[in-house]
Amino acid sequence: MLIVDILVAAGEAAPQNKFGFMEALEQGGFVAYATVAILGVMSFGSFYILFTKWIEQSKVMRQGREMRKSFWQAATLKDGANKLDKNSAWRQIVDDGLLAEEKSQKMKDATEAHDWLHGSLARSEATINSRLAAGLPFLATVGATSPFIGLFGTVVGIYRALINIGIAGSASIDKVAGPVGEALIMTALGLLVAVPAVLAYNYLQARNKRIAETLTGFSTDILANLSSGGTVKPAIPGAPAKPAAKPAAPAAAAVKK
């Protein structure tokens, strides 16, 4: 019983840990609560943009794979467009190209008509790329600013901790380490928000570049098809190769004298 009493007394005499995340919020006051709230909104917005843009990009990529299998097998661009989804990016380029071709026929100068057609397709492609890039500036902003927001909370927390230490009149390590360590939690939160935002931005940006390259190639093929009256088409994946042309018959032998 004596040993048990000693252990209980030692446990009661041991200093209780009063440092943690909630204590850091209480020490920081309004600034700490505001910092955590702002970082929370940034984190939620970053993950929301990551998942929604990933789904949108995956849909465009899937539609692109389906387009390459069936679109160019159609007799005309209108027939090929009917095989595409009405709200797809690829259908938008085809529809804009056909509309531009219809308007370009009213132009008297052939060069101006071709430039109009080319510009219309480029404008349609830029509109799609702009829509795919929507939300990425927010990720870049979060990745660039959230560490500084967390650092601001840390500075204010350290300032409050030093003021309290000065009022108490004690500057021992046990009085300094706890409050300063609590203030550093805000910097850690800022980095925790910034790193996923930067990774998401780079990942989505890379996927957008691959989509933009495919859109550019498809737009170029549409322009060539319209300019050639439907005769120029890209190679169809999986289509049987055309048989090689037979060699020309040898010239008739010279008549013997």
3-class SS of residue 38: helix
What percent of the chain is helix, strand and coil (3-state, nearest 5)?
75, 0, 25
Note the pLDDT tens digit of each residue in 48-60: 999 999 999 999 9
Q: Which of the residue ranges 4-8, 186-190, 247-251 would you say has the lowest mean pLDDT?
A: 4-8
One-letter amino acid at 177 equals A
Q: What percent of the chain has pLDDT over 70?
A: 74
Structure tokens at 78: 């209108």
Tracing tokens 């010239």 back to the chain, one arrives at 251
Checking if the pLDDT of 196 tops 60, the result is yes
Note the pLDDT tens digit of each residue in 80-92: 888 888 888 999 9
Checking if the pLDDT of 139 tops 50, the result is yes
Q: Are 100 and 117 in contact (CB under 8 A)?
A: yes
| Residue that wins the pLDDT comparison between 138 and 249 | 138
| Residue that wins the pLDDT comparison between 255 and 136 | 136
Phi-psi region of 135 (alpha: psi -120 to 50; beta: other; left: phi over 0): left
Write down the pLDDT at residue 25: 62
Closest CA to 85 of 76, 94, 72: 94
CB atoms within 10 A of CB 161: 22
3-class SS of residue 200: helix
